Amino acid sequence: MKLIREALTAGVLAGIFSGVPSTVHALATGIDPLEASLAAGSMLAPRETRTVPLLAAGAAAHGVLSLGWAFVLTAALPRRRSRGETVVAGAVAGLAIAALDLGLAGRRFPRIRALRAGPQVADHVAFGVIVAAVVRAADLEDRPLVPRAGGRRR
């Protein structure tokens, strides 16, 4: 039950905030900040060209992918490590997810292929870091406030 709660929390938070790097990049460079969302929508509705249906499909695709990857990372990330180790593991996991999402699966979809890779990879790294932060925070909640005998926490 704890793993499910952590994964849901991580998936929602990472799903919401992991798009910040590409959105900031888009706004700074004059690119349409909705392009990544429209591209995600094209995975579920490849023939659709209207903005609203593509955005709805994009939100659904992003939600499912975010929750799915959050469950994988929540189960796979190292536990009881230092904050730095957990964050680095999350960043590396984000890079691996980017390779799968963008390099393998995304190459089948023209709108995803057309996205600039750098901002999208940054989003994936942010996703992994956010999930790792949630996992780390959940681990810290489990630790007792008072050290056990011998001066060490469990």
Q: What is the pLDDT along the chain (154 residues), one digit of tens a residue?
A: 889 999 999 999 999 999 999 999 999 999 999 999 999 999 999 999 999 999 999 999 999 999 999 999 999 998 877 778 989 999 999 999 999 999 988 889 999 999 999 999 999 999 999 999 999 988 777 655 445 555 555 4
pTM score? 0.88
CA–CA distances in Å: residue 142 to residues 84, 119, 130, 136: 18, 35, 19, 10
Q: What is the pLDDT of residue 67?
A: 97
Cβ–Cβ under 8 Å, residues 130 and 18: yes
Give per-residue burial for 121-132: e unless 16+ CB within 10 Å, then b.
Answer: bbbbbbbbbbbb
Phi first, then psi, for residue 25 (nearest 5°) are: -60, -45
Question: C-alpha 137: how far from its chain's center?
Answer: 17
- What token pair was written down for 7? 């994964």
3-state helix, strand, coil in the chain (%, to 5): 75, 0, 25
Please report the DSSP string for 59-78 in residue order: HHHHHHHHHHHHHHHHHHSP
